[in-house]
Amino acid sequence: VLSWRRGRFSWTTPWTLPANLAVAYNSQFTYVRAKVKNETYLIESTLLPKVAETCGWENVETVAEISAAEISQLSYVHPFIDKTGPILAGDTFVENSTGSGFVHIAPGHGLEDYGLGSQNDLPIYSPVDDEGRLAHTNDLPTEAQMPEELVGKSILEKKGHSEANEAVLALLRRLDRLVHQENYSHSYPHCWRSKTPVIFRAMDQWFIKIDHENFRQQALAAIDSVEWVPGWGQNRIRGAVEGRPDWCISRQRSWGVPIPAFYAGTEPILDARIVRKTADLIEEHGSNVWFERDADALWADIHPENWDGPTPTGKSTDTLDVWIDSGSSSRSVIMQREEL
């Protein structure tokens, strides 16, 4: 079992450490055990000189090389939660240009993390609430989650500071788990309005299944029935449709066309009859009716006759991707005005 201090792991978002479930390595790399005073660290071999320089280590002794096969049999101890986790091969994204040759994995907070977690049956764990604060969830036992002192800390930056980042770093220092800390510039996504960093958080979403009932093949056939000007556009759109994944059509915005779904607890209720009756209600009262009325009032007007399904306890607050509006608007106009 590898302790967090003895395996040197690097990260740029300390707030994701409460969500950590694994560590990734590259099976094509060679790793070494390096002794520094009374501590032994596991680091990718070509990165050891840079790590030693960055951390101010002197008299570093390489004790042994560690093969990828040996690393795959190791587990590690979380730095501040009483649990261990697996060390998994992540060859497509673990690099040896910077860092330590290891990457911490939080499946609920990163694309590569999500992919590796899904491949290895890890829970998509996201201990962050809708306000952007660290929180306990029902996904893991309480004892396997972050200490209470981190709960409620805000991740979102205010005036260049993140309460959650600072709290995690303070905890690591107190436990003597922080080997080195430095600030440096790197590329990171920001909100175009507030100019502040955004966070990645896995959430349940609605998708259009592209291969449902031969939908993809129908779209490809339709492409061939169109006269393209210029002609190269046909191959471009065909390639896009052939390789397109399922379409995520839900958005978490305070405005837009509502997704007419209800919930019984956490289970969604979506039925074609509900969608049609919602459309009738919106045609009469406008799309704001979905947001202005509570779930009970909406259900009283929308529930299908002879409904034998569960009784809703809440309604969806998600809105549709605006490209659904764009794609359906012309068809809607033609349905109302056949002369067009």
Tens digits of residue pLDDT in 309-319? 999 999 999 99
Q: Is residue 213 part of a domain?
A: yes
Q: Are residues 142 and 14 in the same domain?
A: yes
Tell whether 21 and 163 lie within a shared domain.
Answer: yes
pLDDT bin (cut points 50, 70, 90) of residue 7 is: very low
How many CB atoms sit inside 10 A of residue 98's CB? 13
- Domain presence at residue 227: yes
Residues 131 and 75 in one domain: yes
**For the chain, what is the domain count?**
3
* Residue recorded with tokens 């605006």: 322
Assess whether 36 and 166 both reside in one domain. yes
Tens digit of each residue's pLDDT (9 = 90 or more) over 245-280: 999 999 998 888 999 999 999 899 999 999 999 999
The pLDDT mean for the chain works out to 91
With a pLDDT cut of 90, the percent of the chain lying above it is: 74
Would 179 be classed as within a structural domain? no
pLDDT confidence band for 24 (50 / 70 / 90) = very high
pLDDT band for 6, please (50, 70, 90 cuts): very low
Structure tokens at 84: 């261990």
Check whether residue 226 and residue 117 sit in a common domain: no
Edge-to-edge strand list for the sheet holding 267-269: 267-269, 262-264, 314-315
If asked whether residues 104 and 141 sit together in one domain, one would say yes
Which of these ranges, 204-218, 302-316, 323-337, has the smallest mean pLDDT? Answer: 323-337
pTM: predicted TM-score of the whole model, two decimal places: 0.81
| pLDDT category of residue 221 using cuts at 50, 70 and 90 | very high
Is 184 among the domain residues? no
| Residue 99 pLDDT greater than 50, yes or no | yes
Own/partner long-range contacts of 138-144 (Cβ < 8 Å, ≥24 apart)? 143/82, 144/81, 144/82, 144/83
Domain residues for the domain of 121 are 2-174
Q: Which CATH number fits the domain that encloses residue 101?
A: 3.90.740.10
